[in-house]
Structure 1
Amino acid sequence: MPLTIETCVARHTGDRKEQQDRVALFAHPTRPGMLMAVLADGMGGHTGGAMAAEQVLIKAKQNFESYAPQSETPEHLIASVIDEAHVVIKLTRFTSEQDPHSTAVVLMLQPGRVDWAHCGDSRLYHFRGSELVSRTQDHSLVGELQRKGKLDEAGALRHPQRNVLLSCLGSEQPPRIDHGKQAPLVAGDSFLLCSDGLWAYFSEEELGGAIAALSAREAAGVLIDHARERAGGAGDNITVAIIKFVEAPAR
């Protein structure tokens, strides 16, 4: 059956003084049916984090617009965005007084398939209806403890070192890049990209339920409002991108 998409991106500064997250959706300028979503959570002192996150978006747009599917794979394109943004962010350390770093989540839609990759603890969730199909695994200390069975989800949210990343863009070590894909796509598939300012306050069931029941725009608004309430005046920047696949209306 023919599909169409609903999309929304949204941000909230939370209780921070500065918005250091960045998010964007953009279509390919010449190839119909191709879309890229990118989200980055910047870190690194005043303006440094925002500058790092901005570099992720700039590099994503540049590389996506020059994508040549005859000669490169989706995995190669998405990895190049993260790798090259990492190099640029490292170089900015020599031209500024900050120590900039960023996470990255990059998703690319082509007709019939979605590919993605991430580095850090910003997440991508794939839901089918309200059910979770998969989500990215955090490159963080608590994420590693969870994978080893030493910490559960509730303990991870309370852990005093929950913000310690094991990999990110701009660090001394090359970024760790994990890939995922989904093909074919069906009505009811949805993808949520979000920073930890959002996912830290929700179960997977809550996220999937809201996205399945509401439009992309409505779901983004509801999730941000609830995250703000649950943060209790101590919330981080909140950033979200939602892509929903729905049946195309009959002509």
Structure 2
Amino acid sequence: MMAVLADGMGGHSGGAMAAEQVLIKARQNFEAYAPQSETPEHLLEGIINEAHLVIKLTRFTSEQDPHSTAVVFMLQPGGAVWAHCGDSRFYHFRGAQTLSRSGDHSLVGELLRKGRIDEQGALTHPQRNVLLSCLGSEREPRIDRSGTAPLTVGDSFLLCSDGLWGYFSDAELGEVIHHLPAREAAQRLIAEARKRSGGYGDNISLAIVKLVEAPATAAPARS
């Protein structure tokens, strides 16, 4: 199973087009995926690199300057892999605990990694929207990837844009996703993000994948 999130930039139509290109390329490459001859990591990197090239090419036929972030996640027997570029995030929770979170390819993310600001300062930094890497720019996209194995019941994965994560701590996200079914958790987080933004928030995009115990199936009755 694959989940993909893209947050477009570059004007209303340009950003939407850039994000759509990420989804189209992910669908095409996933349908053509041949695990006997291609690694999952190669698949994910190929999706991001090829979407980046397509978005760059559209700049020649569009008056917009389209860019996009990308988070690509694939679940497979025994494990999961993911890759991202930009400041859209990937979270891995086990229960309500945060096991891992992707690093933002942004100016503020770099300042955080260097210890020059803290998490609270990052949320209010005047240049928090400045990206250092994204799809569609002149530079080749920076792609960070990771994975986990084995998987267990209680593992949850969140892909989300900055319009969501900017209003929550990791602990808050983990608690909501752990205690609610995926659809209800998404609805709760969207409603709360809108409330906390006071009507001035960014677009909100998210995908939640939860691993739960499969319901027991009744044995067929014997006559």
Gaps of 5+ in 1: 1-34
Q: Which of 13, 21, 26 is the aligned partner of 1:60?
A: 26
Q: How far off is 1:242 after superposition?
A: 0.3
Q: Which of 89, 92, 106 is the aligned partner of 2:58?
A: 92
Q: How far off is 1:46 after superposition?
A: 2.9
The equivalent of 1:27 in structure 2 is none
- Mapped to 2, the partners of 1:230 and 1:217 lie a distance apart of 20
Gaps of 5+ in 2: 218-223
Q: Which of 163, 170, 190 is the aligned partner of 2:156?
A: 190
The equivalent of 1:18 in structure 2 is none
- Mapped to 2, the partners of 1:225 and 1:112 lie a distance apart of 34
Is 1:140 aligned to residue 106 of structure 2? Answer: yes
Q: Which amino acid aligns with 1:126?
A: H
Q: Which gives a bigger RCO, structure 1 or 2 (Cα 8 Å, sep 6+)?
A: 1
- Mapped to 2, the partners of 1:70 and 1:135 lie a distance apart of 30
The equivalent of 1:178 in structure 2 is 144
The Cα offsets for residues 61-92 of structure 1, whole Å up to 9 and x where unpaired, read as 00000001111100000000000000000000
Higher relative helix content: 2
Larger radius of gyration: 2
Q: How far off is 1:176 after superposition?
A: 0.2
SS in 2 for 1:198: helix
The equivalent of 1:226 in structure 2 is 192
SS in 2 for 1:247: coil
Q: Which amino acid aligns with 2:19?
A: A
- Mapped to 2, the partners of 1:46 and 1:179 lie a distance apart of 29
Q: How far off is 1:250 after superposition?
A: 1.5
Q: Tell me if the contact between 1:46 and 1:98 (Cα under 8 Å) persists in the aligned partners.
A: no
- Mapped to 2, the partners of 1:179 and 1:233 lie a distance apart of 34
Q: Which of 56, 67, 73 is the aligned partner of 2:39?
A: 73
Q: How far off is 1:111 after superposition?
A: 1.2
Q: Which amino acid aligns with 1:144?
A: E
Q: Tell me if the contact between 1:64 and 1:77 (Cα under 8 Å) persists in the aligned partners.
A: yes
SS in 2 for 1:228: helix
Count of residue pairs the alignment pairs up: 217
Q: Which of 24, 27, 49 is the aligned partner of 1:83?
A: 49
The equivalent of 1:243 in structure 2 is 209
- Mapped to 2, the partners of 1:53 and 1:249 lie a distance apart of 36
Q: Which runs of 4+ in 1 moved over 2 A?
A: none
Q: How far off is 1:249 after superposition?
A: 1.4
Is 1:213 aligned to residue 179 of structure 2? Answer: yes
Q: Which of 139, 153, 157 is the aligned partner of 2:123?
A: 157
Q: Which of 104, 108, 114 is the aligned partner of 2:80?
A: 114
- Mapped to 1, the partners of 2:63 and 2:92 lie a distance apart of 38
- Mapped to 2, the partners of 1:109 and 1:131 lie a distance apart of 20
Q: Which amino acid aligns with 1:66?
A: A
- Mapped to 2, the partners of 1:235 and 1:214 lie a distance apart of 24
Over the matched positions of the two proteins, sequence identity in percent amounts to 75
